Amino acid sequence: MSNENTTIHEFDFTLICEYFSSIERQGPGSSEVTIKALGFIDNLSKDSRILDIGCGTGAQTMVLAQNTTCNITGLDLFPSFINQFSSNANKLNLQNRVAGVVGSMENLPFENVQFDLIWCEGAIYNIGFERGLQEWKKFLKTGGYIAVTEASWFTEQRPQEINDFWQNAYPEIDTIANKVAQMQKHGYTPIAIFILPENCWLEHFYELQIDAQEKFLMKYKGNKSAEELIAYQRHEYDLYKKYKEYYGYVFYVGKKI
Ligand code: SAH
């Protein structure tokens, strides 16, 4: 990369959308982990409503739908992800209970006190963990749940290279203890906290990208933005392999008091 300070946010969004639409999920995760987190949520019925924020093409949304009887709204900023989301819901015959909406997590187009559960895998960093917890709370019913994954430090100290990478990419990354304290500060009881296993990053995310990267680079041969996007993904993958003892995604499940 020509500029080591470039962040993912600065790449061409159309290219990013096309690249990430070509893989099953747009962030680390797995069906098993979604089901595990869902296991901590009580009292969901066919009348319950779930909001999946930053749903992408909906890998986790479809798992939620297949493991509950609830009505689910997926929301994402990018229309192309929502198109693919809707076609995934149709293919699984879930279109009666699962709807995709284009919108921003910074300005949710819903009435207050609507949802029994707010879900957000690999996306709250776009608004920031604390701001998301604060601003989304009003959309939950009392006793409703929030379940989000968030990049977190596993140790108090870490090597400079990985520390610098995250300070540039997402300075709100913090230790699990500090994230839990933030949940409590914003009026959620911590119900379950667990680290996503490595396969969520390797098998289910970075390794799935290897072929997609080759195809993408062939299609956009000579396109500097496309080449930088792939170089950045590969750099992230290398850093993960090197420093996975120090950071990862953590599922934070909380209950609105
Ligand atoms: N939950 C999916 C996608 C995670 S990637 C998965 O785990 O596979 C992060 C997602 O957040 C992307 O789909 C991106 O389009 C979406 N996003 C980014 N900024 C957003 C915003 N302001 N409002 C809504 N969605 C946003």
Band of residue 233 on the pLDDT scale cut at 50, 70, 90? very high
- What is the structure's pLDDT at 12? 85
- Nearest residue (CA) to ligand 1, atom 17: 54
- What is the structure's pLDDT at 7? 54
Mean pLDDT, the chain, integer: 95
> d(Cα 40, Cα 59) in Å, to the nearest integer?
20
What is the per-residue pLDDT across 65-74, written as a single tens digit (0 to 9) for each?
999 999 999 9
Give the contacts of 205 (CB within 8 A, at least 6 positions apart): 25, 27, 28, 29
What is the per-residue pLDDT across 118-132, written as a single tens digit (0 to 9) for each?
999 999 999 999 999
- Nearest residue (CA) to ligand 1, atom 23: 104
Pairing of strands 98-102, 71-76: parallel
What is the per-residue pLDDT across 17-29, written as a single tens digit (0 to 9) for each?
999 999 999 999 9
- Nearest residue (CA) to ligand 1, atom 20: 77
What is the per-residue pLDDT across 156-193, written as a single tens digit (0 to 9) for each?
999 999 999 999 999 999 999 999 999 999 999 999 99
For residues 238-251, average pLDDT = 98
**Residues enclosing ligand 1, CB less than 6 A?**
25-27, 29, 54-56, 59-60, 75-78, 81, 104-106, 121-123, 126
| Residue 209 pLDDT > 60 | yes
Question: Quick check: 2 and 174 in contact, CB under 8 A?
Answer: no
User: What residue ranges define each of the domains in the chain, with the CATH number in brackets?
Assistant: 28-197+246-256 (3.40.50.150)
Substitution site in 22, 105, 251 for ligand 1 pocket (most atoms within 8 Å of beta carbon)? 105
- What is the structure's pLDDT at 74? 98
Give percent above pLDDT 90 in the chain: 94
Substitution site in 21, 55, 106 for ligand 1 pocket (most atoms within 8 Å of beta carbon)? 55
DSSP for 128-184, written as a single string: -HHHHHHHHGGGEEEEEEEEEEEEEESSS---HHHHHHHHHH-TT-EEHHHHHHHHH
Band of residue 1 on the pLDDT scale cut at 50, 70, 90? very low
Band of residue 13 on the pLDDT scale cut at 50, 70, 90? confident
| Residue 8 pLDDT > 90 | no
In sign, the C-alpha dihedral spanning 119, 131, 103, 256 is positive
Atom of ligand 1 nearest to the CA of 17: 15
CA of residue 115 relative to chain centroid, distance: 19
> d(Cα 102, Cα 116) in Å, to the nearest integer?
21
| Residue 40 pLDDT > 90 | yes
